[in-house]
Amino acid sequence: MDAYTFLLQGLATASEPAMLLYALIGVTLGTAVGVLPGIGPALTVALLLPVTYRLDPAGSLIMFAGIYYGGMYGGSTTSILLNTPGESASIITALEGNKMARKGRGGPALATAAIGSFIAGLIATLLLAFLAPSIVKIALVFGPREYFALMVLAFVTVSAAFGDSALRGLTSLFLGLALACIGIDQLTGQARLSFGVPDLLDGIEVTTMAVAMFAVGEALFIAGQRVRQDDEVTAVKGSVWMSLQDWRRSWKPWLRGTAIGFPIGAMPAGGAEIGTFLSYAAEKKLTKHPEEFGNGAIEGVAGPEAANNASAAGTLVPLLTLGLPTSATAAIMLAGFQQFGLQPGPLLFATNPTLVWGLIASLLIANAMLLVLNLPLIGLWVKLLTIPRHWLYAGILLFATLGTIGANPSSFELGMLLAFGVLGYVMRLFGYPIAPIVVGLILGPMAEQQLRRALSISQGDWTTLLQSPIAAVLLGLAALAFIVPLILRARGKGEVLSQMAADED
Amino acid sequence: MKRGRDTAALFIAAGLAVVGAVVLWDSARLADLGGYSGLGPASVPRVVGFGLLGLALWTVIAALRGEFPERPAQNPAPVLWIVAGLAAQLMLLHAAGFSIATGILFAFTARGFGKRNMALSLSVGIALSFAVWCVFSQLLMLHLPAGPIEQLIFRRG
Amino acid sequence: MLRLIRQFATILATMRAAIAVAASAEGHRMPAASDLRRLGISEADYRAIHI
């Protein structure tokens, strides 16, 4: 059977009323968290993990994916109308989008963002569906050493390659790896780093850590900030519809944004926002109306909005086919799979095709729901922003602790939440990225297990890692991903220096 | 933007070194049953421990060169309010129950974000927490500790 | 050939700038002016966004 048949079957699964309801809840929640500053999709999924523990696995995963897609839509609305991106992937939308809104062209800006997101989501989800079977075919031959090499690659790209500092990325990663060692060793049953505390024997709960990092750390950081602005909503004036001219100027950026965003999302690069910045740069270079950039060019909204949705679908490619998370949100979604005893990867396509293809197909449905949900309901979403910040963050912390208490009602677990929250605050303060510590905690034990398996097969011979061509290539890529950015960064510093020299002249 | 020596970053380096040392110290007392693979339970912690020590050294160098990004100005008071709220919640959770403990967290957080009317935010917080408790412990069957308020309404243990 | 290499270098540099700006945005910091310039983003406009 080919992808097409599977996808049709998946659509049948995803159109069951219960699944449709889960998808609807997911996209609605996702749009809401996209609109609200301070909560992103990663945090929302982390908060929902303990709550969905008893629900249907397929339904819960469909809901999580809906949240991810919805977050990408919701952020654009507030970017355009308020110059306040709810999500870092929508920052660039605010640049041109808010200018358009101020000129009374808010309607077309919102429309090109929503339609562009829809088209990008549609193309990228279909790409995901048609690429997945071939990647799965390759991945089926993967043994422990190939998986270990893959995880090393993920560690390097998430921490060293794509942050702004290899030192801080690696530090965050190694803290995650150290935390991952806590608890009973999977192979020998010895307690590691538990210092006789029984609560530590089970290891660090991924959800506690994620909620602490994303909710508590972020709330502390925002509360401590000195600058505060008041938001002013720019009312949508003029026609909501795009003119023929708008359509003509939008369709190419939509396609280009998709082409940029999808591979960036699929690469272990972390975050959908990188694609949005690249798309903006590309549109500015290619536009026939350069004078409009900075004053509300529709291309500057259409391209990046398509890119961030395509990235979201791209992220799911390595997550579903290889079990490899490439961003914080994907890492939390992996924890969601694991909570139901499922391990995403090639085997899941074989053992549980109904679930995987139902999930992929539900993305198509969620995408269509989002288009319907977003355009007419913009007024409602904007109202969400009138919730005062103090109630908003107090509510966020209420639900953050609810998830932790619900999973394990002990003061010790809450103490961990507080400790990791403070850690997250300090990390934010000093510019440490958060994704590597989460990815390290989740992938660390898996990488260790695969390495020990690979070396037991080879009876302790380390060269086995390089004898498999796939593992060798992956490890080579990891080495490149570590070294090349170091050189690029050094070059970047050189550019700054020459710039400064030029300024002094 | 090169600045001088970064003392705070030196503290981070010291912290990393301590964590690395603790990981190494703990791995030293593990019986290393490598088996066929030659890799035992202590092997990976050892790599992580030495890695952290190395990163501590790298952090010292970066701190001395002033390579850390400039830190945004922060007000300590709101941060402390929220930390105090979380601490109060964890201490009161089992004695006072979910609603009161979480209501206090809610009010302290709102205070941290500039809402000064504590009486109002405390009552909103307790009411909201109680509603959440009802939904999640009664409908979704999560185990949320009950206190006087919860026992008053639902007369069960 | 040389032009190809130069184009490749430009793409890499743009990529690096996008990554740096993304990392700064994630950490609520103002990105470096040179990175913004490479991406064609006006510094003043970026500053006006409420992040």
Per-position b or e across A159-196, b if 16+ CB within 10 A of its CB: bbbbbbbbbbbbbbbbbbbbbbbbbbbebbebbbbbee
Burial status of residue A377 (CB atoms within 10 A of its CB: 0-12, 13-18, 19 or more): middle
Mutation site for B-interface testing, chosen from C29, C47, C51 by largest number of B Cβ within 10 Å: C29
Q: Can you tell me the distance from the alpha carbon of A185 to that of B33, in angstroms, rounded to the nearest whole number? A: 11
Query: B137 in a domain, yes or no?
Result: yes
Contact status, residue A289 vs residue A239, Cβ threshold 8 Å: no
Query: B87 in a domain, yes or no?
Result: yes
Q: Up-side HSE of residue B90: CA atoms within 13 Å toward CB?
A: 19
ipTM of the complex: 0.93
The DSSP element (H or E) to which A328 belongs, if any, is helix A328-339
Residue type, B33: L
Burial status of residue A500 (CB atoms within 10 A of its CB: 0-12, 13-18, 19 or more): exposed
| Record: contact B69-C29, CB cut-off 8 A | yes
| Record: contact B44-A402, CB cut-off 8 A | no
For residue A375, pLDDT over 80 is answered with no
Predicted pLDDT of residue A255:
95
Residue whose token pair is 């990981």? B23
| Record: contact B83-A220, CB cut-off 8 A | yes
| Record: contact A94-C49, CB cut-off 8 A | yes
The token duo for A329 is: 């949100």
Predicted pLDDT of residue A205:
86
Q: For residue C34, what pLDDT band results from cuts at 50, 70 and 90?
A: confident
Q: Can you tell me the distance from the alpha carbon of A19 to that of B135, in angstroms, rounded to the nearest whole number? A: 22
Question: Is the same domain home to B80 and B61?
Answer: no
**Of the candidate ranges A140-144, A206-210, A228-232, B7-11, the one whose mean pLDDT is the lowest:** A228-232
C-alpha distance from residue A131 to each of A126, A143, A157 (Å): 8, 21, 22
Across the range B39-59, mean pLDDT stands at: 91
Judged by phi (left if over 0) then psi (alpha if -120 to 50, else beta), residue A296 lies in left
Phi, psi of A110 (to 5 degrees): -65, -40
Q: How far apart are the first and last CA of chain B?
A: 61
Question: Is the same domain home to B54 and B14?
Answer: yes
Question: Is the same domain home to B81 and B147?
Answer: yes
For residue A120, pLDDT over 90 is answered with yes
Q: Can you tell me the distance from the alpha carbon of A316 to that of A337, in angstroms, rounded to the nearest whole number? A: 13
How many Cβ atoms sit within 10 Å of the Cβ of residue B4?
Answer: 8
pLDDT tens-digit map of A421-436? 999 999 988 888 888 8
To the nearest whole number, what is the mean pLDDT of chain A?
Answer: 85
For residue C17, which residues of chain A lie inside 8 Å, CB to CB?
A: 277, 281, 492
Question: Is the same domain home to B87 and B144?
Answer: yes
Question: Is the same domain home to B81 and B131?
Answer: yes
| Record: contact B109-A448, CB cut-off 8 A | no
For residue B69, which residues of chain C lie inside 8 Å, CB to CB?
A: 27, 29
For residue B107, which residues of chain A lie inside 8 Å, CB to CB?
A: 394
Burial status of residue A225 (CB atoms within 10 A of its CB: 0-12, 13-18, 19 or more): middle
Q: For residue B20, what pLDDT band results from cuts at 50, 70 and 90?
A: very high
Q: For residue B43, what pLDDT band results from cuts at 50, 70 and 90?
A: confident
Task: State whether residue B73 sits within 8 Å of chain C by CB.
Answer: no
Q: Where are the domains of chain A?
A: 3-504
Query: B2 in a domain, yes or no?
Result: no
Question: Is the same domain home to B58 and B81?
Answer: no
Helix, coil or strand: residue A191: strand
Helix, coil or strand: residue C22: helix
Across the range A160-189, mean pLDDT stands at: 85
How many Cβ atoms sit within 10 Å of the Cβ of residue A383?
Answer: 12
For residue C29, which residues of chain B lie inside 8 Å, CB to CB?
A: 69-70, 72
Query: B70 in a domain, yes or no?
Result: no
Task: State whether residue A293 sits within 8 Å of chain C by CB.
Answer: yes
For residue A239, pLDDT over 80 is answered with no
Predicted pLDDT of residue A505:
36
Higher pLDDT, B124 or A273: B124
Task: State whether residue B76 sits within 8 Å of chain C by CB.
Answer: no
Query: B71 in a domain, yes or no?
Result: no
Question: Is the same domain home to B53 and B96?
Answer: no
pLDDT tens-digit map of A251-306? 999 999 999 999 988 876 656 788 899 999 999 988 888 888 888 899 999 999 99
Q: For residue A502, what pLDDT band results from cuts at 50, 70 and 90?
A: very low
Domain boundary among B46, B65, B84: B65
Which structural domain range is residue B45 located in? Answer: 7-65
Question: Is the same domain home to B136 and B83?
Answer: yes
Predicted pLDDT of residue A236:
64
Predicted pLDDT of residue A418:
94
Q: Can you tell me the distance from the alpha carbon of B124 to that of B111, in angstroms, rounded to the nearest whole number? A: 13
Residue type, A300: G
Q: Can you tell me the distance from the alpha carbon of A115 to that of A302, in angstroms, rounded to the nearest whole number? A: 9
Q: Is the dihedral of CA A143, A148, A153, A159 positive or negative?
A: positive
Domain boundary among B19, B44, B65: B65
For residue B70, which residues of chain C lie inside 8 Å, CB to CB?
A: 29
Query: B131 in a domain, yes or no?
Result: yes
Domain boundary among B30, B46, B65: B65
Question: Is the same domain home to B123 and B94?
Answer: yes
Helix, coil or strand: residue B138: helix
Predicted pLDDT of residue C24:
81
Question: Is the same domain home to B147 and B82?
Answer: yes
Phi, psi of B2 (to 5 degrees): -80, 130
| Record: contact C20-A221, CB cut-off 8 A | no
| Record: contact C27-A271, CB cut-off 8 A | no
List the single residue in C with minimal CA-CA distance to B73: C29
Q: For residue A361, what pLDDT band results from cuts at 50, 70 and 90?
A: very high
Query: B86 in a domain, yes or no?
Result: yes
Chains in contact with C, where contact requires at least 3 CB pairs less than 8 Å apart = A, B
Query: B1 in a domain, yes or no?
Result: no
Question: Is the same domain home to B106 and B148?
Answer: yes
Q: Where are the alpha helices (DSSP H) in A159-298?
A: 166-181, 206-211, 217-224, 244-266, 273-286
Interface of C with A in 9-28 (CB under 8 A): 12-28
Q: For residue A498, what pLDDT band results from cuts at 50, 70 and 90?
A: very low
Task: State whether residue A170 sits within 8 Å of chain B by CB.
Answer: yes
How many Cβ atoms sit within 10 Å of the Cβ of residue A154?
Answer: 26
**Of the candidate ranges A457-471, B8-22, B85-99, the one whose mean pLDDT is the lowest:** A457-471
For residue A499, which residues of chain B lie inside 8 Å, CB to CB?
A: none
Question: Is the same domain home to B18 and B81?
Answer: no
The DSSP element (H or E) to which A445 belongs, if any, is helix A435-457
**How close B65 gets to chain A, by Cα (Å)?**
13
Q: For residue A62, what pLDDT band results from cuts at 50, 70 and 90?
A: very high
Across the range A110-130, mean pLDDT stands at: 92
Q: For strand A191-192 and strand A183-184, is the pairing parallel, antiparallel, or unpaired?
A: antiparallel
| Record: contact B69-C28, CB cut-off 8 A | no
| Record: contact A398-B105, CB cut-off 8 A | yes
Considering its fold, how many domains does chain B have in total? 2
